[in-house]
Amino acid sequence: MNDLQRLKEMGITIWDVRRPECYPDVSPQPVSLPDDCKLLLVCESKPTEQEAFLFSKVLASMKLSVEQALHLPPQAVNLLGKHQLDWCWFAGTKDTDIEGVKRLTSPSLAALDNDQLAKKQLWQQIKHYES
């Protein structure tokens, strides 16, 4: 079994080499998303249980299910391969232009949960794309 298979079995699908100079033969692999993924949440860490509840409520307002969304850390966005995304939500991180995708920005989910103004601004962004 090779190292990539071990990582995959452990559920680690996105990884970075911390010292790439030590591994000149390793090149970053493109991140592939399932065809049913319509929204990509880009933030530093996977949502906690409370943040996931807020996230699911926002998705429902967009007529999307949790199964249609995936989390990706910011450093992996540059590795995004072919996709069928409709939305990319940058939560608490710098946004990146992804061609053909509606882009949302907000504070982190933890900060958003307690900030009514930020929630309103996120809602306005979503509605802007729907009109």
C-alpha span between 39 and 61 (Å, rounded)? 13
CA-to-CA distance for 129 and 36, rounded, in angstroms? 20
CA distances from 107 to 12, 66, 80, 87, 94 (A): 26, 20, 22, 17, 10
Phi and psi, residue 49, nearest 5°? -60, -45
| Residue 63 banded pLDDT, cuts 50, 70, 90 | very high
pLDDT in tens, 49-62: 999 999 999 999 99
For the entire predicted model, the pTM comes to 0.78
Q: What is the pLDDT of residue 58?
A: 95
DSSP assignment, residue 49? Answer: H
Please give the CATH topology (third level) of the domain spanning 35-130: Rossmann fold (3.40.50)
- Packing angle of the helix pair 116-130, 49-61 (nearest 10 deg): 30
Give the pLDDT confidence score for residue 62 in this predicted structure. Answer: 95
